Amino acid sequence: MLSVALGKSPALLDDPLEQGTGVAFVLVYADRAGTLAGWSGPDRLAALPGRPEWFPTANPGDRFEHLGDQRGCTGIVLTEGQTAELALHRALTAAGGIRPELR
């Protein structure tokens, strides 16, 4: 901030950026009230790009009644990509194929 105030370019803007790996996650929510029986779709993740991983945040037998907030989350899909944007696209694609099975 001092450099900008003095009319100079901050050194940080000129530093070379190191390449890294972008990561992203998408939450998978219950689409209706009911008791979680399991999920369909996590078995297909290995065939998708971005090394998607599935992290369930609920257990079969859990009851879902509150769908409008975080209490409706059943799991998380985590992916990676060359950029965060690509990782997010991959996470959305992977999460779109996972369905909580409710009874």
- Return d(Cα 83, Cα 13) in angstroms, integer: 19
Question: How confident is the model at residue 2, as a pLDDT?
Answer: 80
Task: Please give the pLDDT value at position 20.
Answer: 74
pLDDT at 100: 98
What's the token pair of residue 78? 């985590």
Name the pairing type of β-strands 22-29 and 53-56: unpaired
Three-state SS for 61?
coil
pLDDT score recorded for residue 17: 63
pLDDT, residue 3, reads: 80
- The string of pLDDT tens digits covering residues 17-45 is 667 799 999 999 999 999 999 999 999 99
User: What helix, strand, coil percent values describe the chain, rounded to 5?
Assistant: 30, 35, 40
Alpha carbons 33 and 35: distance in angstroms, whole number: 7
Mean pLDDT of 13-19: 71
Token output for 38: 């399991």
37 vs 34: CA distance, rounded Å: 9
Q: What is the pLDDT of residues 41-71, one digit of tens each?
A: 999 999 999 999 999 999 999 999 999 999 9
pLDDT at 87 over 80: yes
